Amino acid sequence: MTPSYRIVLLPGDGIGPEVVEEARLTLETVAARFGFDLQFETHLLGGCAIEAYGTSLPESTLAACRRADAVLLGAVGGPRWDNPQAPDRPERGLLALRKGLSLFANLRPVRLFPELLGASTLKEEVLQGVDLLVVRELTGGIYFGPRQEAGEDGHEAYDTMVYTRPEIERVVRVAAQAARERRRKLTSVDKANVLASSRLWRRVTTEVVTREFPDIELEHVLVDAMAMHLIRRPASFDVIVAENLFGDILTDEAAMLAGSMGMLPSASLGEGTLGLYEPIHGSAPDIAGKGIANPLATILSAAMLLRHSLGQEAAAQAIETAVAQALAAGYRTPDLAGVHGPDDRVEVVGTQAMGAVVRQFLSA
């Protein structure tokens, strides 16, 4: 029997719909080639959901995601919904979705395509050999702790970073397991010299790795030092595990190793196989609707979806190879257009054309 999977698409706001469409078409191409069926359902999340339903995460969207095998998301947010006084925000919908689906581990691999080495602001010799994976805790910490908005007088506001032992244990296990399948090195990021939650993080991480992963080399690095080491010696890292906010910040920094935010995919996973897949870039309202957004981060997120939620490893690799071939053949969206040697044949293409090129290599 032909395997069949249910995929929920959440195009979201800004460039989200444009890049998700290219990823959907790419998934269809790969499904036909590898002999499985995909059923797509599209739902609203973020600013577009606020417009249509008055809430950033409608019940119907959450319910559809719960029934799905995997969820592919574009991006949420935009200047239209930036009012700090607003009762709901697009980003709240995304956080509630991650929490509602219990997706506590966010995998953000940073892999460099050789053609794009020049795209980074960093020197090529620093970038040689970079291949790292950030595992970001996604449903705890300061994003979800007790908080107080500033009242009418605007005098005081607070957020709280809270972690429990089980929350740390489960994400550290995901990271250590990933390290075991890679180069067996795990870097845990914290601020244990200042924060109590970080001291617990460090203690629990050490216990889990010592007890369950004695074959993994573990190091602890303070987050401020990590911000520095990530651009000084990025190739020395294998798997990095960090709490929610530290992981958020460090992965934007890590994206610059790859030259463009438009290249980095992510997977958010929980206990089961259901996962949420999204590019790490935002909704880029400045270029939305222009047909110039880079769809590769979303297409690479679709590859992660095939790998982690559907168990279709060969199909995942086929997409990754096709993306590499498209870049090697010189195709670039404008975010990467300036990046090439004097003799390189570079063709600047839009969102749809880039998607089409990837699908051409996929079917070749």
E strands, the chain, are: 4-12, 37-42, 70-75, 105-111, 131-137, 147-148, 158-159, 185-190, 217-222, 239-242, 265-269, 275-279, 331-332, 347-348
Please count the other Cβ atoms lying within 10 Å of the Cβ belonging to residue 192: 18
The dihedral over CA atoms of 330, 335, 336, 338, expressed in degrees to the nearest 10, equals: 110
Nearer to Mg ion, 31 or 230 (CB): 230
Catalytic site residue from 88, 131, 159, 252: 252
| Closest residue by beta carbon to ligand IPM | 91
Choose among ligand IPM, Mg ion, none what residue 247 binds, the Cβ cut-off being 5 to 8 Å by kind. Answer: none
Nearer to ligand IPM, 95 or 254 (CB): 95
Choose among Mg ion, ligand IPM, none what residue 11 binds, the Cβ cut-off being 5 to 8 Å by kind. Answer: none
CA distance linking residue 364 with residue 362, whole number of Å? 6
Catalytic site residue from 37, 82, 215, 224: 224
List interacting residues with ligand IPM (CB under 6 A).
77, 91, 94-95, 248, 280
With 0-12 / 13-18 / 19 or more C-beta atoms within 10 angstroms meaning exposed / middle / buried, residue 333 is: buried
DSSP letter string, 23-52: HHHHHHHHHHHHT-EEEEEE---THHHHHH
Min dist CB 243 to ligand IPM, Å, is 12
Mark whether 224 is an active-site residue: yes
CA distance linking residue 63 with residue 58, whole number of Å? 9
Mark whether 252 is an active-site residue: yes
Min dist CB 14 to ligand IPM, Å, is 11
Min dist CB 304 to Mg ion, Å, is 17
Choose among Mg ion, ligand IPM, none what residue 94 binds, the Cβ cut-off being 5 to 8 Å by kind. Answer: ligand IPM
Count of residues touching Mg ion (by CB under 5 A): 1
Nearer to ligand IPM, 45 or 95 (CB): 95
320 binding Mg ion? (CB under 5 A) = no
Q: Are 124 and 157 in contact (CB under 8 A)?
A: no
Catalytic site residue from 5, 13, 163, 191: 191
Mark whether 331 is an active-site residue: no
E strands, 49-113, are: 70-75, 105-111
CA distance linking residue 278 with residue 282, whole number of Å? 10
Residue 51 vs residues 93, 155, 223, 307: alpha-carbon distances, Å? 13, 31, 38, 34
Nearer to ligand IPM, 50 or 94 (CB): 94
Backbone phi and psi for residue 103, each to the nearest 5 degrees, phi listed first: -90, 90
Min dist CB 314 to ligand IPM, Å, is 28
Catalytic site residue from 5, 143, 277, 331: 143
Mark whether 191 is an active-site residue: yes
* Bridge partners for 70 per DSSP: 7, 275
Nearer to ligand IPM, 33 or 147 (CB): 147
List the x/- string, 232-271, binding to Mg ion by CB under 5 A. ----------------x-----------------------
Nearer to ligand IPM, 138 or 336 (CB): 138
Q: Are 274 and 311 in contact (CB under 8 A)?
A: no
Mark whether 69 is an active-site residue: no
Name the residues annotated as catalytic.
Answer: 143, 191, 224, 248, 252
- Contacts to Mg ion by CB under 5 A: 248
